[in-house]
Amino acid sequence: MSAKQPAVWSIQSEGIIEAESLFINTRHIAVGWPKMGNLSQIEASRDAFRIKIAACYLEMHTRLIPIYASELFQFVHRIAIADVVVFPAAFDRKIYLGQIKGPYRYDPSLSESYPNLYPVKWLTALPETQFTPRTLREIRFPMMISRIRDNPEEMLALLETGTGYSGRAE
């Protein structure tokens, strides 16, 4: 029987310097949403996350609430220890690949703006040219958290070999 393959997640920081510094310097991935407090205290359902977002962020457009609720639910209840995380950094235009090393935690002392986090061990940082165009599109999908479903094998292979895309046709 083969070991279960870890899930691969892309996390975006929208180029925010504070988030990128937190991710790289303190070795965490994080999301903000400070008004919501400890996300693990919200009932484990997307509906509960929708209700909490609507109550905490009254100015938010109602069409966005289910999208963000789904992302936050996944962040707390789907990401697991040993999963792979992919972070496209704006500051150096590299793609960081790492592994989740501990459980979700709420820690506003580390960052008031990004209190919801996971510890991560960064394993490599590669230039964008190491990735196929198809994979780059998925990594850069405009969501703060998304599971890489189309081609997670490419990221897992990069972690094993340290080599990537060589300009081959897709």
| Helix/strand/coil (H/E/C) assignment for every residue in 120-159 | EEEEEEEEHHHCCHHHHHHHCCCCCEEECCCCHHHHHHHH
pLDDT of residue 75: 97
Angle at 43 between CA 47 and CA 108, to 5 degrees: 110
Top-confidence residue, 15 or 1? 15
From 92, 95, 97, select the one nearest 123 (Cα to Cα).
97
- List C-alpha distances in Å: 4 to 1, 7, 21, 82, 83: 9, 9, 32, 11, 11
- List C-alpha distances in Å: 150 to 14, 23, 141, 146, 158: 22, 25, 12, 11, 15
Q: Which residues are CB-contacts of 133 (< 8 A; sequence separation ≥ 6)?
A: 170
Q: What band does 119 get if pLDDT is binned at 50, 70 and 90?
A: very high
pLDDT of residue 12: 86
Top-confidence residue, 92 or 2? 92
Helix (H) or strand (E) holding 65: helix 65-77
What residue type is 95 in one-letter code? Answer: I
pLDDT of residue 14: 64
Can you say whether the dihedral through the CA atoms of 138, 158, 123, 96 is positive or negative?
negative
pLDDT of residue 152: 87
How does pLDDT run across 27-84, given as a tens digit for each residue? 999 999 999 999 999 999 999 999 999 999 999 999 999 999 999 999 999 999 999 9
Specify the pTM: 0.86
Q: Are strands 8-11 and 84-88 parallel, antiparallel or unpaired?
A: parallel
**What average pLDDT is seen over the chain?**
87
pLDDT > 70 fraction of the chain, expressed in percent and rounded: 91
